[in-house]
Amino acid sequence: MSIVAIRGAITVKNNNHDDIITNTENLLKEIEKRNHLNKDKVISILFSSTNDLNKEYPAKAARNIGYKYSALMCFNEMEVEESLKKCIRVMLLYSSNMEQKNIKHVYLKGAKSLRPDLIE
């Protein structure tokens, strides 16, 4: 077994509980789907969000969809001039036999602009 890192990001329309939770759940579900993940093998998920999202912790969305044993942690994203706004980023650490080069990173909505080289 090895550990791989899976990245993803999504933008939200509004700084409110529902938008933050719903969009984070959608992002995590899409990462699961594209990489055929087993939740029990997710070691941890690190969440960052831009400073304009402060009405809810994105990690709550992970708990809502069944990440009971994974370590979860939320951070503020570094503020860079003219950077993408209302954005939630994730990095999952996953115990697997997959090779890092075969991971499918997921960037949705406005976050597609962060890594256009990884968009399918």
Q: Which residues are catalytic?
A: 7, 63, 74, 77, 89, 107, 115
For residue 69, give both structure tokens.
């044993």
Backbone angles phi, psi at 74, to 5 degrees: -115, 145
